[in-house]
Structure 1
């Protein structure tokens, strides 16, 4: 059997290229958090916010529990971010188990708190496995919610997009049509569900463009801190988990440090490939932990912004 090897010149080029050295840090990032349930979780959240703030994210968002179960905690967290940090805070808002008037009251409270950015979502049913049922006096979906919010106040609005199709969509085309309705109703941008292969995003971006949608489509990045948990989440939201990814996390269940190193490497490599394809905006699902997202941003060339100091 004849073995072939790369030329000396090819090998030299590969070895001489420093890791991630070609990334200029010319990107925008945003981070997603969830409202804390306990005092310890609150400390972890604010520690994460403090760590990530110097990266000057375009905005940070705070999630909203199914059926408004975290309404007060979400509001308090978003209002505190808006009040005590230099960050632009975005609040998630859903259609689940709430009338239009109730949603309007929540939106008004955000506006009064200085929050100008809403992530408008249809939302998941309160009971897992059940189908979404609109409130009798509520919005039927995110497109109607966007329209209602825009009538209330001139919010900046982000909506969700699904590169691998929403699990309840009748077809990929109907899902794309729904995305267009949300953007046509007044949304500024769409943030995608997480995914693990760059081609998944690129194919979706092409389909979005072919559908005549010219709004920004921001890839949602999920660093995998717990592989079993991500598998469960992926099954619920129709996200493919590649077989090679499972092999890389094998044997790391009891080695959190090693698992974090693998996770950061995988997510940074995904972002590097997206960057090579022209992506300059990234949205990180932080799970209220800073270290993975910070490490990935660092590899992408992003550095803390130092405030100008008067002489």
Structure 2
């Protein structure tokens, strides 16, 4: 099923997972998928690393297993900065043969170990190309606090409108820790004529190093309340985990009360965290 169809029937809950490290067998991820399946997600997305063909194979193999072995709708991530048009056409063919209908189209981070190709400079270029050659359901990324490389929120929303006009069927946000950024972003998107479903991407933070890395990569703002949690519990892993889960649940309760289209949970391959959050918000999602 195409994920864009889900929003016509319900508020959507989905999970993100990532392939195991190169040194670990690919089967190590399937125990995680098995446990996440029990939470009845509307779909599970599988990230694509910066490791070239090996990441490609792992992403597509896992996405295929999510759908065909575990019976959960899947989304394969596809960053384009290091891909040629010929490579993308080959990937589309392989995904179609695996029964995968949904793709998260990204530019991808520029990796100094790989020379970028020139076929796709932006995610919108990839989206247009995919729509021209297939009928895949395309998901796009969006940034409540603007993309870290973008000069202003106005420029960022213009870029997003280009992406949506190219054929994006629904959007998932980058992580954020202050819901006011999300609501302001929703308003800007509506004014710009962006009317596809927007899922809020939420990442429960379970350790201080994790969030420091995310901030350096994404440039997200950390509210005072959140900083207090990190500083108080950084040396107590169990307390930090539970406080991070509680903070994420508070975010989600507020988002659901305000009518969010859906929640996309960055699980970090941790089924325990997903279970605790599902337990807290499941009834609200159905209300």
Q: Same fold (TM over 0.5)?
A: yes
Tell me which residue corresponds to 1:171.
Answer: 152
Match for residue 260 of structure 1 among 211, 223, 241: 241
Q: SS state of the match for residue 14, structure 2?
A: strand
Match for residue 217 of structure 2 among 236, 245, 262: 236
1:135 matched to 2:117:
yes
Give me the whole-angstrom Cα distance separating, in 2, the residues matched to 1:211 and 1:67.
Answer: 36
* 1:37-56 alignment runs, 5 A limit: 37=21, 38-39=23-24, 42-43=27-28, 45-56=29-40
Q: Is the 8 A contact 2:198 2:261 kept in 1?
A: no
Q: Is the 8 A contact 1:67 1:96 kept in 2?
A: no
Tell me which residue corresponds to 2:58.
Answer: 73
Higher CA-based Rg = 1
* 1:132-211 alignment runs, 5 A limit: 135-136=117-118, 138-211=119-192
Q: Which moved more, 1:247-256 or 1:142-151?
A: 247-256
Change (3 A) 1:134 1:178: farther
Following superposition, the deviation at residue 250 of structure 1 comes to 2.4
Q: Is the 8 A contact 2:206 2:244 kept in 1?
A: yes
Q: Is the 8 A contact 2:26 2:58 kept in 1?
A: no
Deviation by residue 1:109-132 (Cα, 9 ceiling, x = unmatched): 11111111000001001139xxx9
Give me the whole-angstrom Cα distance separating, in 1, the residues matched to 2:55 and 2:235.
Answer: 31
Deviation by residue 1:63-85 (Cα, 9 ceiling, x = unmatched): 11126361121122112222201
Tell me which residue corresponds to 1:59.
Answer: 43
Following superposition, the deviation at residue 194 of structure 1 comes to 0.3
Q: Runs of 4+ in structure 1 displaced over 6 angstroms?
A: none
Change (3 A) 1:149 1:126: same
1:118 matched to 2:103:
yes
Q: SS state of the match for residue 145, structure 1?
A: helix
Q: Where do 5+ consecutive residues of structure 1 fail to align?
A: 1-25, 306-311
Give me the whole-angstrom Cα distance separating, in 1, the residues matched to 2:178 and 2:37.
Answer: 28
Tell me which residue corresponds to 1:98.
Answer: 83
Q: Which moved more, 1:102-111 or 1:241-250?
A: 241-250
Give me the whole-angstrom Cα distance separating, in 2, the residues matched to 1:257 and 1:196.
Answer: 20
Following superposition, the deviation at residue 171 of structure 1 comes to 2.1
Q: SS state of the match for residue 141, structure 2?
A: strand
Change (3 A) 1:29 1:97: same
- TM-score under structure 2 normalisation? 0.89
Give me the whole-angstrom Cα distance separating, in 1, the residues matched to 2:88 and 2:70.
Answer: 26
Following superposition, the deviation at residue 302 of structure 1 comes to 4.5
Q: SS state of the match for residue 91, structure 1?
A: strand
Q: Is the 8 A contact 1:159 1:182 kept in 2?
A: yes
Deviation by residue 1:186-227 (Cα, 9 ceiling, x = unmatched): 111110000001111111101110111111111000010222
Give me the whole-angstrom Cα distance separating, in 2, the residues matched to 1:127 and 1:289.
Answer: 29
1:291 matched to 2:275:
no
- TM-score under structure 1 normalisation? 0.82
